[in-house]
Each structure stands twice: as C-alpha cells, then as structure tokens.
Amino acid sequence: MRDDQPPLASFEPEVPDRLVSRRDAIGRGASDSGGAAAALAAGSVPVLLAALARDSFAQAPTTIRGVLEFAYILESLEYEFYNAVLSAPAFAVVRGTLTQVETATLTQIRRHELAHVNLLRTTIGQLGGMPATLTAANFDFTAGNGSGAGPLAAATSDKAVLLATAQSLEDTGVRAYKGQVAKLMGNKDVLTMALQIHSVEARHAAKIRRMRGVKAWVTNDDPSFSPPAGAEAMIGAIYGGEQNTTHAEINFAGAAESFGGTAAVTEAFDEPMAYEQVLTVFNPFIAGGP
Amino acid sequence: MADERRTVVIETVDQLMHPQTRRDFLRLAALGGVAVLLPGLFAACADDEARAGAFTLDLGNEVGYLQYAHALEQLEAAFYLAAVRSPYAGITAAETAILADIRNHEVIHRESLAAILGENAVPDLAVSLGSIDFSVRTNASTGVLDAAKMFEDTGVGAYNGAGRFLTTPERLVLAGKIASVEARHAAVIRDLLDVTGLAFAGDDVVDENGLDLALDVRTEVLPAIDPFIVTAITVPS
C-alpha cells in the first residue's frame, strides 16, 4: 500500500477574486457559481437529497471549484453505476453472467470511483463548496433521461451491453478531465490530483476494453461496438474527435508509415472533450428534470 | 519521419565488426539515432568508454519538462523496438499485436515530441537494455513484461508529477493526451501479468484515495531510468 500521499488538508484556498461566498451565491443565483453545490447554497439549510437538475451544470465551469463540482457529479454517476451493477436488483440478471474475476475487477473499479467521489467532496468543501449527496436515484443508467427505458436498458441483462456502457463512461471520463484540466492550473495540488484521477480512469477504460476483447486504445473515432438503437448520438459524442492527428499545430497523419500509420497516430493520443460534448453524453444519464 | 533504420540493435562486439552494422552505427553516430546496446556488448569495453555524450536537462522551465518527456519516450521506444524485434519465448499472437501497438505509440510519442521541441529536441540518447532478459516473458523482475510494466508505470507517474510544472495550457493538454495512453499501456501490461483481474489498477499503484502515481523527476523517475540511459544526463538543481 502506498503511503506517499500528502494529507488532504494541504490544499490551497481558491484564488480570492473567484471565491463566491454563500451569500453571493444566493444573490447571484445557482448557475453563476456552477454545480449542485450552488443550487443548494441558494436555498436555506442544505437538503440531503435534491433532484439533480441539468440546469445546475448547463454552463461550462469557469472556476477551479466549478470544475471539481462537475467532476464530482460524473464520478458519482460512475460509482452509482458500478454499485448498481454489483448490488442492485435491477442488474441481477447481468450480474449472474459475470465471472468471479470480472466481479473482482468491477469491484475494484467501484472502489476507486467511490474514493474519487469522497476525495472530490472533501476538496470541494475545502474550496468553500458544499456538494449535494447524490444517490442512484439521481441517475438513469439506461441513458433514458429518467425514464428507465433508455437505449442502454439491455445493460441490465446483457454483459456485452453492460461492458460497452462501462467502457463508454470510462472513455468519456478520460476525455472530460482532459477537457477541463487547464482550468485547474491555478492550484497545483488540485491539478495534480485531477491528473492522478484521470490516469486511473484511463486504466479502467483499458481494462474494460480488454474484457470486451478489443484494443485498450481508441483507434480513429471507432467506439469498437455498434451503438444500441437510440444511442448513436451519445456514442458518437464519446468518440467523435478521437481521430484527430494534429498536436501543437503539427499534423502527424502519415508520419508513422512503418509504425501503424495514421491509425496508430490516433491511438497514441487521447483527445480532450469540450464541455458541450460531455453534456451530450452525460445528460441522458440524469434522472432529474430540467 | 519515424524510421526504424534510426535504431540499431547491437548485441555483441562482433556485430560492430560486421560491415553493414558498423556502417549503420557510424551513420547513426553522425546523423543521430538510437543505438540499442544489448547484453554482452560491454564485455569488451570499460564502463567509462561506453558512455557516449552528455545532456543537460534544465528543469527550470517548461521546455525542460518537455525534454524530460522526450527522453522518457526515447527510452520506451528503444525498449519496445528491441522487444518486438526479439520476441520472448512463447509469445502469443495477441501479445505480439499488443507490443507492436505499444511500440508504434512510443515511437509516435518520441517523434511528436521531437517535432514539437524542434531545435530543443533531446539528442538521441544512447540506451543500454542489458539488464533486461528479452528471451523471457516474465520472471517477476528482468523479463520483458516486467520491464514494460516498470517503464509504463514510471511514465504515468512522470507525467502526473510533471503536470504542475507546465506553464501553458497547450503543453499541459498535450502531456495529458499522452499520459492517459501510457496509463492504458500500463493497465494492459499489468493485465497480461495478472490472473486476479485487479492488477490493471492495483493497490500498488492506485492509493486509498483512488489516485495514481505522481512521481518526482529528480528523486524517483531519473534514478529509476538511469540504469538504462548511457548518455550522462545532468539536471541542475
């Protein structure tokens, strides 16, 4: 077990000119501060369970805390998903198809996602936020906007769909963190923490892909599975842009003829995902209203 | 851009005496290229004679950290080039494909960083992989997959530890684009060595907060890779 991590109390406070007090949050309204935390701050005593409204994170975060508040929601979705797979009655059929080793893998992943949720909650608190406690009820794992009958419904009974869903979440996580990481540069400890979470998500993605019998890396914009009917836009958003071959304004397509060609160039880099694209993937998993 | 001829694998002194190999080696020495010096070569050479050139890595600025990444990718590329060229006993078709893919990625990383660094690119480093047994898949320490696991975990930790020292968003995102692929490599290699289903992100690399490695360049990464790099790398404090 590693013991080289610094105590959590060492995080620096957020830069003062972006710090939003609770009073200010109440005055400015929920969306200005970003995240579920502000939605709660705009009320009175924080309610333990509030419907997670898409409105509360419709705008791309602009502050360090805002980025973490969104990451907290994504990690909560991942944790609740794996927890449902491993323990919810709804997933009993697919759970019965998992081997012992597969169950161990998903349990390890769930453990990490819970650790991420808790670490992000603690860090957001140190930065002056108060994130809501989210539960499985806040999410629709079928990607049905709360209907429970979305295009990924077969994940509850079909292992192939289950693993494709898990892969989708992990590959999205990698790209989502990458898309926001530059906003964390003002706090080096928080930035490092985000990088350390981001690479764990990449390990998860690689392992899920291997469980599916496909490459651990993303080739062009190929999801390596056929999107279930109705999930085409979502899956397209997860992998769209991964075919990019331009880095630091240099196009490396065709630069690796003896080394896998352009396909390998697309595999060698994972791409950041713009916030709006993340929402295209993420919104259908939110059970709450607008 | 990327050219396999820029790497010469030299296993014995006899190879250096072979006309074509010697021509390749001298051509590379003149133009730049990676000389991969395998076990047995140094039997005829004193340690001091084996050192070829030196490089100063100035970590006082962002360019230095990109050079650090370039050096790491050179080492990884050299390792996988050798591993693919001399496959270990019993390698499966699936493992062959995986190592070839990873080799491709590392060569691409190396060449991309070289192109992005331009005149600041790290000169081709002389690499010694003599402590690795390329004939063995794993013996828990010096086999090919054991070395691969070490290189990949070290790479992930290096990128995660270096992020805080990058000063431009563009370079941070570039490093991130590579870092997550190194993490995929690490997970795959660990998975190949594992039967429990846990090692891809095992408790030896992911801590109780769910955090991956973040390594210090001077105290953790450079000492780990020093045995493999013949070129003397100096890091001013």
Q: Which of A45-54, A172-181, A218-227, B217-226 has the lowest mean pLDDT?
A: A45-54
pLDDT, mean of residues A229-237: 96
* Phi (first) and psi of residue B236, to 5 degrees: -60, 145
Q: How many domains does chain B have?
A: 1
- Judge whether A274 is closer than 8 Å to chain B, CB to CB: no
d(CA A152, CA A230): 9
- Residue-wise pLDDT tens for chain B (237 aa)? 445 555 555 554 445 444 455 455 445 444 445 555 444 343 333 333 333 479 999 999 999 999 999 999 999 999 999 999 999 999 999 999 999 999 999 999 999 999 999 999 999 999 999 999 999 999 999 999 999 999 999 999 999 999 999 999 999 999 999 999 999 999 999 999 999 999 999 999 999 999 999 999 999 999 999 999 999 999 998
Calculate the average pLDDT of chain A. 86
What pLDDT does residue A54 have? 87
Burial class (CB in 10 A: 0-12, 13-18, 19+), B22: middle
What pLDDT does residue B6 have? 53
What pLDDT does residue A50 have? 54
Instruction: Tell me the residues of chain A between 93 and 122 that have a Cβ less than 8 Å away from chain B.
Output: 101-102, 104-105, 108-109, 111-116, 118-119
Enumerate residues 6+ apart whose C-beta is below 8 A from A113.
A75, A78, A79, A82, B210
For the CA atoms of B96, B99, B100, B101, the dihedral, rounded to the nearest 10 degrees, stands at: 120
- Residue A9 predicted with pLDDT over 70: no
- Residue A42 predicted with pLDDT over 90: no
Contact flag B183-A202 (C-beta cutoff 8 Å): yes
Contact flag A199-B103 (C-beta cutoff 8 Å): no
Packing angle, helices A159-180 and A188-211, rounded to 10: 160
- Residue A253 predicted with pLDDT over 60: yes
Q: What is the pLDDT of residues A162-210, one digit of tens each?
A: 999 999 999 999 999 999 999 999 999 999 999 999 999 999 999 999 9
What pLDDT does residue B24 have? 54
Contact flag A108-B169 (C-beta cutoff 8 Å): no
d(CA B32, CA B19): 19
Q: What DSSP character marks residue A273?
A: -
* B32/chain A closest Cα distance in angstroms: 18
What pLDDT does residue A34 have? 40
- Residue A10 predicted with pLDDT over 70: no
Q: B167: domain CATH number?
A: 1.20.1260.10
- Judge whether A68 is closer than 8 Å to chain B, CB to CB: no
d(CA A167, CA B201): 15
What pLDDT does residue B34 have? 54
The predicted model scores a pTM of 0.83
Q: For residue B116, what are its two tokens?
A: 């992005």
Q: Which of B173, B186, B197 sits opposite A102 (nearest CB)?
A: B197
* A242: three-class secondary structure by DSSP: coil
Print the domain residue range for B72: 4-234
What pLDDT does residue A225 have? 97
pLDDT bin (cut points 50, 70, 90) of residue A12 is very low
Q: Which of A101, A192, A197 sits opposite B197 (nearest CB)?
A: A101
